[in-house]
Chain A
Amino acid sequence: MIIEELQKKAAQIRVDSLTAISRAGSGHSGSSMSCVEILVSLYYGKISEKYVAKLDPKKPQWEEQDYIILSKGQAVPTQYAILADLGFFNKDEMDFLRKVNSPLQGYPNVKVPGITVPVTSHGCGLSIATGLAMALKMDRLPNKVFPILGDGELQEGQVWEAAMCAAHYKLDNLIAFIDNNDLQIDGPVRSVMDVMPIQDKFEAFGWRVIHVWHGHDFDEILDALAKAFTTNRHPVCIWCHTVEGKGIEFAEGKPYYHDVPLSEVELAEVKKKLDPIVADNLKMFGNE
């Protein structure tokens, strides 16, 4: 998919996930927006005519699939919106996000087709991804594992246990994204508990770090992924600078919008801006 199409797809995913969060009456609007381009690159992006991640909506338990693990699980409406768009499940389900009797739980739930591992609290995603990458290496399989971590999540000690382990076992099938939007519930990450320097930390742990200055630029993200694919014997960290609330003009970089839904008026304003791009969007094909 060419860059322009990816941008349109990102707009559509923004509208779908924000609508679902608003309808649910709770959820993390700002936090869900900062990782849209990372997720869209993974699910729809192509490098040298080949999809970044190998997936099949008709076979959610496919043995040959790659694994996209949203460790910053609060942003899962974005992942649900993508899975629904790809046809893993019916789009109507999005109306029941975070509601009783719906499989679309507040954090990634394995009962949802396309969600392969449970991510129910901060800090566990990288460990799960590490275990998955080790199991794949053990069977000498080429599948890749892509965990996406928040920057606030790096405050969890478990992340560094997993980082040490991934480097020790030379898991070059593990490519972790850091969604560095610099915001968490209590405010800027650097003032709550500074996680910097991210690059030095991961490198000291034995990882290769690829820096993406513009975490909403598809060219940069795909370029970083292409570099990651050529790495041997080291896990890779793609450190992306992102903007919390990206795409919602009035919410960009504002801590207030981190974990609240948009009001109807606010949502209408976002839609007014994004809907023309979405309408222009080409009908997407399923990945693979």
Chain B
Amino acid sequence: MNDLIQVGEKISMLRALADGLVKLARKHRNIVVLYADFGTKLGLKNFCLAFPERCFNFGLSEENVAAAAVGFAARGKIPFVIGFSNFAGKAWEQIRNSVCYPNLNIKFVATNAGISSGEDGVGYQLTEDIAIMRTLPNMKVISPVDYYEAMSGLEQAFYSFGPVYMRLVSKEIPVILNEAYEFGFGKAKVLKEGIDVCVFTHGALTSNVLEAAMVLEDEGKSVMVVDSASIKPIDADKIIECSMKAKKCLVVEDNNLSGGLFSAIAEVLAECNPVSLRGIGLKDRFAESGSMEDLYKKYGLDVIGLTNKIREFIG
């Protein structure tokens, strides 16, 4: 099935979650899936049909499910706690105290990340999730750019000991990488070389950034695009290397810049290579209801908006 998915095809990361979990659970008996309702919307149907005894619905109780995962981990299980991204905010205290502090092997998967969740509005668009998760000691944070990175990231999250926060986009977005791609914690990947500006990005916006880079390429401007899906640990070496190759750096993300990838990259560059750096994303504000496309357009994150902003920044 998977090899039928071609570059450019639009597909939801939830399919990677559904396929990946079943694949992992076939090999590893200690995987359990815990979720707080929305199972059918999270693509858990396949897993629950294949492994009903390892699938636990906690109803709408996000705090309870995050802490109950601790009990499962105490018996050597590896829980995947899955929910809409807003559960990360609701259960943050439990994740901090009961999971990250004792460094337990629990994986949190949040779907509908950033403003991509769209129509449900601000309550379900946790645009600060990277900020609140990145700050937790022991926690690793991944925001894959497409189906294949989500698939590989899920596998790496399982094999890497300790808590992981993985944010997925449930809307259908274009595939950028291919089946051979392997995600690595602390590894950034240059998707396109360039020298005028280096754009770091993650999640659903990556395909828009690549398209904008191609438009600018036609205008004679050379834009480097870096997939920074591993937000924590961050690939400091690659960031410094890229910032030296390009004259200026830019971070594009569909969440609040404060505390997000923008902050993570600013922390690295401020210490090692202070270059001209700017962020494109939500600047200290909330979004609103609307389709993903309309929201991206309104906040200048669609291809046209990004092209204009990058062009202006290059000068």
Contact A118 B61 (CB under 8 A): no
Q: Which residues from 3 to 60 on chain B have a C-beta closer than 8 Å to any C-beta of chain A?
A: 32, 34, 53-54, 56, 58-59
**Which residues of A in the span 92-134 have a Cβ within 8 Å of any Cβ on B?**
109-110, 116-121, 123-124, 127-134
Instruction: Verify A118–B101 contact, CB threshold 8 A.
Output: yes
A282 CA to B148 CA, complexed, in Å: 65
A117–B70 CB distance below 8 A? yes
**Is A26 an interface position by the 8 A CB rule?**
no
Name the residue on B nearest A163 (C-beta): B64
A127 and B64 contact, CB distance less than 8 A = yes
Cβ–Cβ contact B75 & A120, under 8 A: no
Stretch at the interface among A28-36, A135-143, A226-234: A135-143
Beta-carbon contacts of A2-37 to B below 8 Å, as 1s and 0s? 000000000000000000000000000000000000
In Å, the complex CA distance between A201 and B69 comes to 25
Q: Are B63 and A132 in contact (CB under 8 A)?
A: no
Question: What is the chain A residue whose CB lies nearest that of B71?
Answer: A131
The answer on a CB contact under 8 Å between A162 and B68 is yes
**Given A127-B63, A130-B64, A161-B63, A117 and B71 touching (CB < 8 A)?**
yes
Q: Once the chains are docked, how many angstroms separate the CA of A131 from the CA of B98?
A: 13
User: Do A135 and B74 touch (CB < 8 A)?
Assistant: yes
Main secondary structure of the interface of B (DSSP, over half): helix
Q: CB of B214 within 8 A of chain A?
A: no
User: Most chain-B CB neighbours within 10 Å: which of A123, A131, A138?
Assistant: A131
Q: How distant is B66 from chain A, measured CB to nearest CB, in Å?
A: 8
In the bound assembly, the distance between CA atoms of A3 and B159 in angstroms comes to: 50
Q: Is B67's CB under 8 angstroms from A135's CB?
A: no
Q: Give the size of the chain B interface in residues (CB under 8 angstroms).
A: 27
B63 touching A158, Cβ below 8 Å: yes
Contact residue among A118, A121, A157, A168 (Cβ-Cβ distance under 8 Å from B70)? A118
Q: Which of B63, B71, B72 has the most CB of A within 10 A?
A: B71
Q: Across the interface, do A158 and B67 meet the contact criterion of CB distance under 8 Å?
A: yes
A164 at the interface (CB under 8 A from B): yes
For A, the interface residue count at a CB cutoff of 8 angstroms equals: 32
Instruction: Please give, as numbers and ranges, the residues of chain A lying within 8 Å of B93 by CB-CB distance.
Output: 121
Whether A165 sits at the interface, judged by CB under 8 Å, is yes
Instruction: Provide the bound-state CA to CA distance between A128 and B99, in Å.
Output: 11
Query: A-side binding surface: helix, strand, loop or mixed?
Result: helix
- Contacts A121-B93, A138-B32, A165-B61 given; does A130 touch B98 at CB 8 Å: no
Q: Which of B59, B61, B75 counts the most A-chain CB atoms under 10 A from its CB? A: B75
Q: Are A165 and B68 touching (Cβ within 8 A)?
A: yes
How distant is the Cα of A129 from the Cα of B69 in the complex, in angstroms?
10
Picked from A110, A116, A127, A145, the residue with its CB within 8 Å of the CB of B67 is: A127
Tell me, in angstroms, the Cα distance from A160 to B236 when the chains sit together: 44
Alpha-carbon distance between A123 and B61 when the two chains are bound, in angstroms = 13
The chain B residue with its CB closest to the CB of A121 is: B97
Check A132/B61 contact, CB under 8 A, given A121-B93, A138-B54. Answer: no
Beta-carbon contact of A165 and B58 below 8 Å: yes
Q: How far is the CB of A213 from chain B (nearest CB, A)?
A: 31
Given A116-B74, A117-B71; A124-B61 close (CB under 8 Å): no
Residues on B with C-beta less than 8 A from A130 are: 64, 68, 71
- B64 touching A136 by the CB < 8 A rule? no
Closest to A117 in B: B74
Report how far A136 CA is from B77 CA in the complex, Å. Answer: 10
Let me know if A131 and B69 touch, CB within 8 A.
yes
Contacts of B137 on A, CB cut-off 8 Å? none
A131/B97 contact (C-beta < 8 A), A124-B67, A138-B54, A165-B58 known: no
Task: List B residues 71-110 near A (Cβ within 8 Å).
Answer: 71-72, 74-75, 77, 93-94, 97-98, 101-102, 104
Distance between Cα atoms of A132 and B32 in the complex (Å): 13
- Given A127-B63, A127-B67, A162-B68, A120-B101 contact (CB < 8 Å): yes
Residue in A110, A116, A131 whose beta carbon sits within 8 Å of that of B72 in the complex: A131
How far apart are the CA atoms of A124 and B66 in the complex, in Å? 9
CB–CB A161/B61 < 8 A: yes
B71 engages A124 (CB within 8 Å): no
Docked pose: A164 CA to B54 CA in angstroms: 20
Q: How far is the CB of B5 from chain A (nearest CB, A)?
A: 34
Apart from the given pairs A67-B74, A118-B102, 8 other A-B contacts in the complex at a CB distance below 8 Å: A117-B71, A118-B104, A121-B97, A123-B63, A138-B53, A138-B54, A139-B75, A158-B94
22 A-B pairs with C-beta separation under 8 A: A109-B102, A117-B70, A118-B70, A118-B104, A119-B98, A120-B98, A120-B101, A121-B97, A124-B63, A128-B68, A128-B71, A132-B72, A133-B71, A134-B56, A134-B72, A138-B32, A138-B54, A158-B64, A161-B63, A162-B61, A162-B68, A168-B59
Which residues on A are within 8 Å of B, measured CB to CB? 67, 109-110, 116-121, 123-124, 127-136, 138-139, 145, 157-158, 161-162, 164-165, 168-169
Which B residues contact A (CB, under 8 angstroms)? 32, 34, 53-54, 56, 58-59, 61, 63-64, 66-72, 74-75, 77, 93-94, 97-98, 101-102, 104
Q: Name the 7 nearest CB pairs between A and B, nearest first.
A: A131-B71, A131-B68, A132-B71, A127-B67, A161-B64, A161-B61, A120-B97
